[in-house]
Amino acid sequence: MKDFATGAVCLAVLGAGVMGRGIAQVALEGGMAVKLFDTQTGAASRGRDFVADMLRRASQRGRLPAAEAEAAIGRLSVVDSLSALADADVAIEAVVENLEVKRKLFAELEAVLPPTALIASNTSSFRIAAIAAAANGKDRVGGMHFFNPVPLMKLVEVVATPATRPEVAAAFMALGRRMGRVPVLVKDGPGFLVNLGGRAFTTEGLRLVQDGIATPAQVDAVMRDACGFRMGPFELMDLTGIDVNFPASLAIWQGYFQDPRIQTFALHESLYVSGRFGRKSGLGHFAYDRDGNKQAPSADAQVSAAPTKAAVLAEADPALRNWLTERGWPVSTADDGQCPILAAPWGEDATAVSLRTGADPRRLVCLDLAGDTGKRVTVMTAPGADLAVRDSAIARLAGAAPVTAIHDSPGFIAQRILAMIANLGCEIAQIGVASPADIDTAMTLGLNYPRGPLALTDSLGAAKVLRILENLQRITGEPRYRPSQWLRRRGLLGLPAATPD
């Protein structure tokens, strides 16, 4: 097989849209010759001009020497027929997301490409095996799923079908590295790796809002401030577009035979059918002005109560006692019947804590110690709580960090979403979609997560994640929260999440 890592390579790019242009650019920067084809009259020429302009801009910014930029432009050519691709070593299609169109194109490519040439699809919607169904040489077909914008997003998912030869997958990995990307090897399936793994972040956020536990602004604030995500799930959905992420969520859920762990919810569909697509329509989970600025309510609890002077613990909890002591809270051993009763449960709601410990539910205030509590603290109370007592605790907490007050919820906000991300990452490892290392690489590079799901599992502790999920499943009675066997075994054995079988 040709040396795709360093040898002379001619790459055919089918489709001169946003993705095709980006693929062409990084291939040229990797020293390859590129032939650009598009069925729309003039599209390939416009694509060539766009890529040339991007390369020259990169040179002006000092990212690429001028001589290299001009040499790269010289390796880019436009062709007006598939027959002109007869000398290509590899072809990557980036045409419209229509299965029949892609199948037809693959069949036509096979007729003109040499038998040694490799064929890849950049699809994000379809199984590679479904596209390759029309091909005779299915063993030379795979996926190279780039992310938009290609020149800036370093990740590429190399997707291998059951028919893809190992050496073909290895060649695609080498191509990805040559293009300056970080390739991860992924098994063919609905959503591949990143689009599958990203379901937990958004769908659990939707569940919290649909159940009336918190508002979109509250969920986003907690995930940004306490958990280190660049964007919360609701502002992320509004940015990508509800018209994009709802159908994707539905397709992946159906592709995995309606696994409850990746199920989306009626709130998501309601926005979709009403045309509330997010920033592009001016209204989604939030409203946006003409400049795209988000109009959102504050996530901070506003109280007028005087800060409490004391508190008691619902149960012996050294971690909570130390947390309070570090912040100057006088923790009393005697309950005066008036001050807040504090607890820091994992995976339980305030109702369960009250029933288990005997704490007065009217004065019980639960704190979430997951994440960076120096940037935001989340509190919750049981139904019927004395809000004056709650507010006195909030007033004391707010002196050190913003406070978000939510309704009763097993696992608060952060614990639930983090545990679901961790669990889905472990399940992806369990079913062999990718290696543990590639799972974490893909989720950090593809979605800008602060850490990958397996590293997240270790940061919380696999045993603690397992505890959160078991409590969620017990309290809600839902299979949505069933722990992955990968997680269960490592949590029980005290092993790192990336420990191989």
For position 471, which CATH number holds? Answer: 1.10.1040.50
For residue 298 the two structure tokens come to 């504050």
pLDDT of 339-382, one tens digit each? 999 999 999 999 999 999 999 999 999 999 999 999 999 999 99
Catalytic residue among 121, 122, 124, 354: 124
Our answer to whether residue 145 is catalytic in this structure is yes
Instruction: Determine the Cα–Cα distance for residues 147 and 167; give it in Å rounded to an integer.
Output: 24
| Selected catalytic residue, list 59, 121, 122, 195 | 195
Q: Are residues 339 and 423 in the same domain?
A: no
Position 406 in a domain? no
Shared domain check, 22 and 116:
yes
Q: Which residues of the chain have pLDDT under 50?
A: none
Cβ burial, residue 386 (10 Å; 0-12/13-18/19+): middle
Which CATH number goes with the domain that contains 147? Answer: 3.40.50.720
* DSSP per position, 65-121: -HHHHHHHHHTEEE-SSGGGGTT-SEEEE---S-HHHHHHHHHHHHHHS-TT-EEEE
Residue 144 resides in a domain = yes
Q: Is 122 a catalytic residue?
A: no
| Inter-residue contact 380 to 426 (CB < 8 Å) | no
Does residue 275 sit in the same domain as residue 422? yes
Question: Do 171 and 236 fall within a single domain?
Answer: no
Same-domain check for residues 185 and 200: no
Residue 159 and residue 210 in one domain: no
Show which of 171, 189, 207 is a domain's final residue: 189
Based on the fold, state whether residues 142 and 183 are members of the same structural domain: yes
Domain range enclosing 237: 196-300+413-501
Q: Are residues 335 and 458 in the same domain?
A: no
Q: Is 100 considered catalytic here?
A: no
For residue 408, is it within any domain?
Answer: no
Per-residue pLDDT, 188: 98
Per-residue pLDDT, 134: 80
Same domain assignment for residues 113 and 261: no
Q: Total domain count for the chain?
A: 3
Q: Is residue 382 part of a domain?
A: yes
Q: What is the pLDDT of residue 391?
A: 98
Write down the pLDDT at residue 1.
Answer: 82
Instruction: Tell me the backbone φ, ψ of residue 407, rounded to 5 degrees.
Output: -80, 170
How much is the pTM? 0.96
Annotated active-site residue in 110, 122, 145, 423: 145
Do 18 and 100 sit in the same domain of this protein? yes
The residue out of 155, 189, 223 marking a domain boundary is 189
Of 29, 93, 157, 204, the catalytic one is 157
Q: Which of 342, 377, 401 is the last residue of a domain?
A: 401
Residue 356 belongs to a domain? yes
User: Is position 124 annotated as part of the catalytic site?
Assistant: yes
Q: What is the pLDDT of residue 160?
A: 98
